């Protein structure tokens, strides 16, 4: 006997459509082989990469792209390490140039990070806004890494961002979603006029339940890297994150019960053989 | 276009390092000299992106600052 459950809609990010709502980074793995296996186990269809100087003296001749199936994954280049709008725009263009040459569908988009501070890796909201506007004008679909400040989030959306990606907590900090209330408000503001506008929690995911929390709040996806790469057993964590994302999404679609202060019995109150008792 | 350049050299900064190259070196030739894979890199000269199609014609000049980048792991 099969039970029919209404299928979920896919994740739509601008011109891209995906089944998986988990976006996974390619950094910090012990080996390229481990990275490749983790990406596969996570079920991700989108993976992020950074743009960096090529080594002048070749250490071992291997490039990450040798371990990434370009037919399977849509590459999302980031502008990590940029502290100004100008630099972020330069990096975005360079990422696009490489992906165009490789004919990967990720050639038209970028994960925009413009940082304000090395210690916290918090984004510079002013520079992020500036870079968003410029990149949108140059034809990029911009996915903006930002804080969970709803006002900044709204500004980025108004500037034309394809998706706004509020951090759960600082990059690599593993603290999960520290301020679910702000994420709720971000969702309300960003989806008010367009319920399908994609909001993705990006940064700070420490373990599987963090992913579920984000999805249960109503986010459209989660982006993470360190949570998998830094786990004791990254392969196992990749699977955990995959299932957590699905679980959180289904719980959101299912509609949870309300939180109540007092109990409500699950078993019938009448017909019990037990004597009366309790208050 | 590249007459009598056999003996002249130019000093060019590539990825922050000073390189001494034959005058008339193109971007394409630089990538080849550095043993990089053309498909996996993108090039900026003086903070301006040089599209792939122009690599073989773009001649590098004295004091040019060149960035040759590729994709690496990142979140």
pLDDT tens per residue across all 279 residues of chain A? 688 888 899 999 999 999 999 999 999 999 999 999 999 999 999 999 999 999 887 656 889 999 999 999 999 999 999 999 999 999 999 999 999 999 999 999 999 999 999 999 999 999 999 999 999 999 999 999 999 999 999 999 999 999 999 999 999 999 999 999 999 999 999 999 999 999 999 999 999 999 999 999 999 999 999 999 999 999 999 999 999 999 999 999 999 999 999 999 999 989 999 887 776
Q: In angstroms, rounded to a whole number, what is the distance separating the alpha carbons of residues A44 and A35? A: 12
Q: In angstroms, rounded to a whole number, what is the distance separating the alpha carbons of residues B74 and A55? A: 16
Which of B49, B58, B74 to mutate against chain A (most A CBs within 10 Å)? B74
Q: In angstroms, rounded to a whole number, what is the distance separating the alpha carbons of residues A87 and A84? A: 5
Tell me, yes or no, if B53 comes closer than 8 A to chain A by beta carbon.
no
Q: Which residue intervals of A103-221 are DSSP H helices?
A: 125-137, 150-158, 180-191, 208-217
Residue recorded with tokens 């007092």: A262
Tell me, yes or no, if A12 comes closer than 8 A to chain B by beta carbon.
no
Domain boundaries, chain B: 1-46
A226 and B42 within 8 Å at the Cβ level: the answer is: no
Q: Using the Cα atoms of residue A33, residue A39, residue A43 and residue A46 in order, give the sign of their dihedral.
A: negative
Q: In angstroms, rounded to a whole number, what is the distance separating the alpha carbons of residues A76 and B75? A: 10
- Chain B residues within an 8 Å CB radius of A26: 73-75
- Chain B residues within an 8 Å CB radius of A54: 15, 34, 36, 40-41, 68-70
Which of A47, A54, A204, A224 to mutate against chain B (most B CBs within 10 Å)? A54
- Determine the residue of chain A that is closest to B48 in CA distance: A90
> Which domains are delineated in chain A?
22-254 (3.20.20.70)
């Amino acid at each position: 006997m099969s039970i029919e459950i209404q299928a979920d809609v896919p994740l739509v990010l601008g011109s891209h459509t995906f089944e998986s709502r988990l976006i996974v980074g390619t950094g910090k793995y012990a080996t390229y082989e481990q990275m490749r296996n983790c990406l596969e186990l996570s079920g991700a269809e989108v993976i992020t990469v950074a743009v960096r100087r090529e080594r002048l003296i070749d250490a071992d001749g291997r490039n990450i792209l040798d371990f990434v199936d370009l037919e399977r994954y849509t590459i999302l280049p980031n502008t990590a390490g940029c502290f100004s709008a100008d630099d972020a725009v330069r990096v975005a263009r360079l990422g696009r140039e490489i992906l165009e040459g490789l004919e990967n569908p990720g050639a038209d988009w970028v994960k925009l990070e413009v940082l304000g501070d090395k210690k916290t890796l918090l984004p510079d909201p002013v520079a992020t806004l500036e870079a968003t506007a410029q990149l949108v004008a140059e034809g990029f679909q911009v996915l903006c890494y930002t804080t969970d400040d709803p006002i900044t989030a709204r500004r980025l959306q108004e500037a034309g961002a394809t998706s706004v990606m509020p951090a759960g907590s600082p990059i690599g900090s593993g603290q999960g979603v520290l301020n679910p209330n702000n994420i709720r408000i971000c969702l309300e503001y960003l989806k008010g006029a367009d319920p399908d506008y994609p909001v993705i929690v990006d940064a700070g995911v420490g373990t599987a339940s963090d992913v579920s929390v984000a999805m249960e709040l109503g986010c459209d996806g989660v982006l993470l890297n360190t949570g998998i790469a830094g786990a004791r057993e990254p392969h196992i964590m990749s699977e955990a994150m995959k299932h957590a994302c699905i679980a959180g999404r289904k719980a959101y679609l299912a509609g949870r019960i309300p939180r109540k202060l007092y109990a409500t019995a699950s078993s019938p109150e009448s017909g019990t053989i037990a004597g009366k008792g309790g208050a | 276009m590249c007459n009598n350049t056999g003996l002249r050299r130019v000093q060019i900064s590539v990825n922050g390092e000073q390189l001494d190259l034959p005058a008339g070196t193109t971007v394409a030739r630089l990538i080849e000299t550095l043993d990089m894979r053309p498909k996996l890199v993108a090039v900026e000269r003086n903070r301006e992106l040089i599209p792939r199609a122009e690599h073989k014609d773009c001649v590098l000049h004295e004091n040019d600052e060149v960035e040759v980048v590729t994709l690496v792991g990142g979140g």
